[in-house]
């Protein structure tokens, strides 16, 4: 199996999505290995604009499996919105068109709130306020929740309560308020069934014989894309 890797070295916005989309004309597996629901990739196909934030831009290619890898941080709300949008447009017709790593970490409302509050302070980095950095902080601090935890409700609630307790002082110091754990749990556990068909062990995903794998990564994150297309601009 041959592999093509696209690396962005300009902190994002270099056009990785378009490059990967073009390269994946012959690919069958497109892997996004890290990053989260950031600014996204914009593709124009036959005059129609598509925007991907979590799902690799390979979603526009038929017969391609798009993989959200284990080093990604996944916001389930954004993911469900993307899945609904692409399904309504005729994409993601098969369950095997998308793989969401069970071990990927979850971006939750308090991560986005911490990101926003920090970004409003003097000397900020200028983030997209999507909670990606704070989610990786939770992962490094070993208080993160993973996609697979959504399917163990008791464990999810317990880990969520621990995480909110740990991040509470940070939120208060920034002028925010810790969220209600019960409300957060109800919302995200309610999304679990919608993404369940796609959740699996991403590390065991294999392309069809003689296929090419295309992966892109950038400094701000990484994305990967896929295969089938008419005119692309």
Cβ-Cβ contacts under 8 Å for 79 (sequence gap 6 or more): 37, 54, 55, 68, 100, 195
The C-alpha atoms of residue 193 and residue 197 are separated, in whole angstroms, by 8
Which structure tokens are listed for 155?
Answer: 């464990």
Which structure tokens are listed for 110?
Answer: 């308090």
Distances (CA, A) of 104 to 19, 49, 69, 94, 168: 25, 28, 7, 21, 23
41 among known catalytic residues: yes
The C-alpha atoms of residue 58 and residue 30 are separated, in whole angstroms, by 6
Judge contact between 67 and 35, C-beta under 8 A. Answer: no
Which structure tokens are listed for 50?
Answer: 């598509």
Which of the 8 DSSP states describes residue 185? Answer: H
Find the catalytic residue in 21, 41, 105, 115.
41
Find the catalytic residue in 13, 180, 193, 201.
13
Closest by CA position to 1, among listed 34, 31, 28, 33 = 28
Distances (CA, A) of 207 to 65, 67, 69, 77: 8, 11, 14, 28
Which active-site residues does the annotation give? Answer: 13, 41
């Amino acid at each position: 199996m041959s592999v093509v890797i696209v690396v962005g070295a300009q902190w994002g916005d270099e056009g990785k999505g378009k490059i990967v989309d073009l390269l994946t004309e012959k690919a069958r597996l497109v892997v996004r290995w890290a990053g989260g629901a950031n600014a996204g990739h914009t593709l124009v196909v036959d005059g129609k604009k598509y925007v991907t934030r979590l799902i690799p831009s390979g979603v526009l290619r038929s017969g391609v499996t798009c993989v959200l890898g284990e080093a990604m941080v996944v916001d389930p709300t954004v993911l469900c919105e993307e899945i609904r949008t692409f399904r309504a447009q005729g994409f993601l017709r098969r369950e095997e068109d998308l793989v969401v790593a069970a071990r990927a970490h979850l971006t939750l409302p308090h991560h986005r709130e911490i990101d926003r509050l920090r970004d409003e302070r003097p000397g900020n980095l200028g983030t997209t306020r999507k909670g990606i950095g704070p989610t990786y902080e939770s992962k490094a601090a070993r208080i993160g929740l993973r996609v697979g935890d959504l399917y163990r409700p008791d464990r999810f609630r317990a880990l969520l309560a621990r995480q909110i307790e740990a991040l509470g002082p940070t939120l208060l110091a920034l002028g925010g308020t810790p969220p209600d754990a019960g409300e957060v749990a109800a919302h995200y556990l309610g999304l679990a069934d919608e993404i369940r068909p796609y959740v699996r062990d991403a590390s065991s995903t294999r392309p069809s014989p003689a296929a090419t794998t295309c992966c892109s990564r950038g400094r701000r994150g990484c994305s990967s894309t896929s295969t089938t297309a008419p005119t692309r601009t």
